[in-house]
């Protein structure tokens, strides 16, 4: 049977006819001129930009959640006054509106592509906005998705833009397969939020013939072309058995009753509903940076208090772990500039390192959190990102405690912190392992770079060793990177000593079911077997041998 392999980034299995989305908006001819009325031509360009911005905003508002954040950011690109000025300047010089738009976006694109990780990753989003504006101006229709296709289809593309995927649902799409993208790309994030299986970085995917029946395993990353009936039946049944989301309810626990609180990763109040609907027992990672992005000034103390209180109030009596602002590197902010240009931003002044330069922003945030907690019963915990030394852990913990936040901890995202977890443990209250960055820094492999996405799998034994070392230091140790969203990996993490698991809300029911079907000794055996392996593939196979009922693809 012919297969393609990529990175499985959203668990489960999906089967359907491949639908290839081809987005090619022709480049407007170089040297295209308008008929001599720059005012009318500029107005035409402005109107197209405004229509696209409005469409993106409306789609975002209709979707909510992560999709809304992403589409709102794209709408802002279309509304950027500097871009409009650039277009107007080119039109004034006689360039036709569509070519002026193309050239203006190109200039911004080059600036972005040279920028930091998060910004550079937005190039695809910028291209998508440009294509939509040019399509508006030239009357070329944007390629659409099949409306009522009869049966759910497998959407295959070079890459998917947030505007394409945001309006889809699992009733319409059986799975996503993209040739580009990584575990933290938009396709991956939105697929997980929708609960649709997805495989990204899948070489050869766009060579598929439209209508080919494909079976997509969003856990192993294997895409099987024209599979046999038996193969489809058993793979779908395996995936279903691995997590019949409604089958197990209640708090997270293993089959022998060992409690493992299952928490949600959220980016703000807009994701609280999803966390609650999926039965999260609290929040294990509140990424506060969404409140700070796309702004010229940090949000005021009062604004922060209001937003944090909204989240805390939604979880009475439950843990809510708030991560203080994780800026820098892939999330640059104009009011938190590094002290010098950074040739390698991911290795520069990010996370806690920026707070050493701008301590006031941290103390204001801590004060806002302390005030927000007043009058709520949520068990507020605060933690700092990008900690690499015991000194940093001590500094942050003391500041948090000075602000009245007794329960302070640190993220383990840097190998140095994991290696010296015992020293950090003497200086802080808890650990939360960010497996996304811990993978990035363990393998010196940019987490946003498509061809390096195989390094992002948490099944690498080197990563598992660092998690084990962290847990061994004896502090409560949560996992909040994407690893906890993989049901088999969740069992392994518990076997390594994780005390809580935090994940994208839709993954909570899957993980709950996987844990409920296995004992702590299954989890330990799976963890030990995985650490004895040499490759991530063998580690997964070895772990699954101790976790009956999980798909062994």
Mind telling me the catalytic residues? Answer: 186, 480
CA distance 260 to 123: 39
Q: Which is nearer to ligand PEP, 222 or 467 (CB)?
A: 467
- What is the rounded distance in angstroms from the CA atom of residue 115 to the CA atom of residue 134? 25
**Shortest spacing between CB 150 and Mg ion, in angstroms:** 42
Report in angstroms how near the CB of residue 280 gets to ligand PEP at its nearest.
15
Residue 264 token pair? 């949600």
For position 285 contacting ligand PEP by CB under 6 A, the verdict is yes
Question: Taking CB within 5 to 8 Å according to partner kind, which of ligand PEP, Mg ion, none is near residue 481?
Answer: ligand PEP
Interface with ligand PEP, residue 389, by CB under 6 A: no
Secondary structure letter of residue 29 according to DSSP: P
The only residue of 413, 446, 486, 522 in contact with ligand PEP, by rule CB under 6 A: 413
CB of 422 to ligand PEP, least distance (A): 21
User: How far from 182 is each of 12, 265, 276, 453, 539, CA to CA, in Å?
Assistant: 17, 19, 28, 5, 21
Other beta carbons within 10 Å of 414: 22
Q: Does 186 bind ligand PEP (CB under 6 A)?
A: no
Give yes or no for residue 136 binding Mg ion (CB under 5 A): no
Which residues, at least 6 apart from 301, have a Cβ–Cβ distance to it below 8 Å? 364, 367, 368, 371
Q: How many Å apart are CA 453 and CA 475, to the nearest integer?
A: 31
**Could you tell me which stretch among 9-17, 52-60, 273-281, 431-439 binds ligand PEP (CB under 6 A)?**
431-439
Residue 282 or 434 having the CB closest to Mg ion: 434
When asked if residue 174 is in the footprint of ligand PEP (CB under 6 A), the reply is no
Distance CA(137)–CA(466), nearest Å, equals 53
Q: Which of 16, 197, 434, 495 binds Mg ion (CB under 5 A)?
A: 434
Distances in Å between the Cα of 430 and the Cα atoms of 2, 381, 426, 442, 548 are: 47, 9, 10, 21, 32
Figure out which of the listed residues 437, 446, 482, 486 binds Mg ion, where binding follows CB under 5 A.
437
551 interacts with Mg ion by CB under 5 A: no
CB count in 10 Å sphere of residue 55: 18
Which residues are paired to 320 by β-bridges?
283, 380
Closest CB 240 distance from Mg ion, rounded Å:
32
Q: Does 271 bind ligand PEP (CB under 6 A)?
A: no
DSSP state of 27: P
With CB under 5 to 8 Å by kind, the binding choice for 435 among Mg ion, ligand PEP, none is ligand PEP
**Looking at 234, 436, 519, 521, which residue binds ligand PEP (CB under 6 A)?**
436
Token pair recorded at residue 178: 């993209």
Give the interface with ligand PEP as residue ranges (CB under 6 A).
285, 287, 326, 413, 434-437, 480-481
């Amino acid at each position: 049977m012919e297969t393609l392999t990529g990175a499985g980034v959203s668990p489960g299995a999906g089967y359907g006819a491949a639908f290839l989305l081809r987005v090619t908006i022709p480049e407007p001819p170089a040297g295209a001129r308008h008929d001599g009325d720059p005012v009318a031509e500029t107005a035409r360009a402005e109107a197209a930009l405004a229509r696209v911005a409005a469409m993106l905003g409306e789609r975002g508002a209709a979707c909510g959640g992560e999709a809304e954040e992403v589409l709102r950011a794209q709408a802002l690109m279309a509304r950027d006054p500097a871009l409009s000025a650039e277009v107007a300047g080119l039109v004034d010089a006689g360039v036709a509106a569509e070519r002026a738009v193309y050239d203006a976006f190109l200039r911004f694109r080059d600036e972005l592509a040279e920028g930091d990780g998060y910004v550079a990753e937005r190039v695809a989003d910028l291209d998508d906005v440009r294509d939509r504006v040019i399509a508006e101006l030239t009357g070329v229709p944007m390629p659409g998705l099949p409306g009522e296709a009869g049966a759910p289809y497998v959407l295959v593309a070079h890459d998917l833009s947030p505007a394409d995927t945001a309006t889809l649902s699992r009733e319409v799409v059986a799975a996503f397969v993209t040739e580009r993208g990584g575990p933290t790309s938009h396709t991956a994030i939105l697929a997980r939020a929708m609960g649709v299986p997805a495989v990204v970085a899948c070489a050869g995917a766009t060579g598929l013939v439209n209508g080919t029946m494909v079976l997509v395993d969003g856990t192993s990353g294997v895409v099987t072309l024209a599979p046999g009936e038996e193969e489809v039946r058993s793979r779908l049944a395996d995936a279903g058995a691995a997590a019949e989301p409604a089958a197990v309810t209640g708090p997270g626990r293993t089959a022998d009753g060992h409690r493992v609180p299952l928490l949600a990763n959220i980016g703000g109040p807009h994701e609280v509903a999803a966390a609650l609907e999926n039965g999260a027992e609290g929040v294990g990672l509140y990424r506060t940076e969404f409140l700070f992005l796309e702004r010229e000034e940090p949000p005021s103390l009062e604004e922060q208090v209001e937003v944090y209180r909204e989240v805390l109030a939604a979880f009475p009596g439950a843990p809510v772990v708030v991560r203080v602002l994780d800026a820098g590197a892939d999330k640059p902010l104009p009011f938190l500039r590094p002290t010098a240009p950074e040739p390698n931003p991911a290795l520069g002044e990010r996370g806690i390192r920026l707070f050493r330069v701008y301590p006031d922003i941290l103390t204001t945030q801590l004060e806002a959190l302390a005030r927000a907690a007043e009058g709520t019963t949520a068990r507020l915990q605060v933690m700092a990102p990008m900690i690499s030394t015991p000194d940093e852990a001590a500094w942050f913990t003391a500041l948090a405690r000075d602000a009245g936040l007794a329960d302070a901890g640190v993220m383990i995202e840097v190998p140095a912190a994991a290696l010296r977890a015992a020293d950090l443990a003497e200086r802080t209250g808890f650990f939360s392992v960010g497996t996304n960055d811990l993978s990035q820094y363990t393998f010196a492999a940019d987490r946003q770079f498509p061809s390096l996405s195989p390094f992002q799998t948490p099944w690498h034994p080197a990563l598992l060793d660092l998690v084990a070392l962290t847990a061994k230091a004896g502090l409560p140790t949560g996992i909040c990177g994407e690893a906890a969203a993989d049901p088999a990996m969740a069992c392994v993490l518990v076997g390594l000593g994780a005390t809580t698991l935090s994940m994208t809300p839709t993954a909570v029911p899957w993980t709950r079911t996987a844990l409920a079907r296995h004992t702590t000794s299954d989890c330990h055996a799976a963890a030990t077997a995985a650490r004895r392996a040499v490759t991530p593939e063998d580690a997964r196979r070895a772990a699954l041998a101790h976790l009956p009922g999980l798909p062994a693809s």
